[in-house]
Amino acid sequence: MQAGSFSRFVFAVSLAAAALMTNKAEIIMVAILFASSAMIIWTGDFKSVVEPARPAALFFAFIFVLHLFSHRGQVLFTIFGLEATLEGARTGLFYGEKLIVFFYSAYLILKTVKPFELTLPVERLSRIFGRRGRPLSFLALSFSLALRFLPDLVRQGRITMLALKTRGVSFDGSLIGKLRSAPQLLAAVFVNAFKSAESASMALAVKGYSTRHERAVFPAIRILPGSIATLALSAVILVFGLRS
């Protein structure tokens, strides 16, 4: 089912919002199923479901353990003087599942949403408001640039890590050792990120983007049946999230 970037973005946000507002585990499981199915359909690759699973599992384990030992109730076992309770396990499982929905929703946006297509509806709306719509237009530009550069930032991080490893910097070993090596990686990545942002701002200034709000010519609006179905499903998800 083909859908535009705007409807995909709304769908991902509705999944996260429904998971945030609901108090029922069934709604969260349905949201996870919808997010996984949407990634397979829109990317055409089953591996896209597996990619965010590892970081999501790590955060899930952290949230689960945190709640497991921080709630009173029926004691399951005791370790180092800490009591793991049944109520803590249930709560940790519930909030861990919510976190998985947030991970998959964010990954769905990064993997399937095209920043330029996402900003077009916002740009059209800002044109209607005239000069008052300028802040909305600039906000859309900032958001689209952030989405555009996030994959590049991840790729640059991997390249920088390989470069540092060839120079003898080790990212293996204990957690403390990794934390000691992290500043070297983060410093290089952020310097490159700032250079890319500066280059982008200069290119936009040279191309006269400041006059886009008044002079831009937008392509004809295309309404896809898949987009309508996706937006309708997003509304249903939000309603169930609010009522549950």
Contact partners, residue 83, CB within 8 Å, separation at least 6:
69, 75, 77
What does the pLDDT read at residue 209?
61
For residue 56, is it left (φ>0), alpha (ψ between -120 and 50) or beta? alpha
- What pLDDT does 46 receive? 77
Q: Per-residue confidence of the chain (244 residues) as pLDDT tens digits?
A: 567 777 888 888 899 998 888 888 888 888 889 888 888 888 877 777 787 888 888 888 888 888 888 888 888 888 877 888 889 888 989 999 999 999 888 888 888 877 677 777 777 767 767 667 667 666 766 666 666 676 777 777 777 777 777 777 666 666 566 666 677 777 777 777 767 766 776 776 666 665 555 556 666 566 677 788 888 888 888 888 877 6
Within 8 A by CB and 6+ apart from 92, the residues are 63, 64, 65, 66, 67, 68
Q: Residue for token digits 């987009």?
A: 227
The one-letter amino acid code at 187 reads: A
Q: Which residue has the tokens 């070993």?
A: 173
| Residue corresponding to tokens 């330029």 | 116
Which whole-number Å values give the CA distances from 32 to 19, 99, 241, in the listed order? 9, 10, 13
What the block records as the tokens of 28 is 């969260």
Q: What pLDDT was estimated at residue 56?
A: 85
* Separation of CA 232 from chain center: 21
- pLDDT of res. 80: 79
At residue 156, the pLDDT reads 75
CB 102: neighbour CB atoms within 10 A? 17
Chain CA centroid to CA 78, Å: 37
The domains of the chain are located at 1-113+220-244, 118-207
Cα 105–Cα 186–Cα 183 angle in degrees, nearest 5: 130
The label of the residue with tokens 């509304």 reads 235
Beta carbons within 8 Å of 45's beta carbon, 6+ residues apart: none
Burial of 90 (0-12, 13-18, 19+ CB in 10 A): middle
pLDDT computed for residue 213 by the predictor: 52
pLDDT at 214: 56
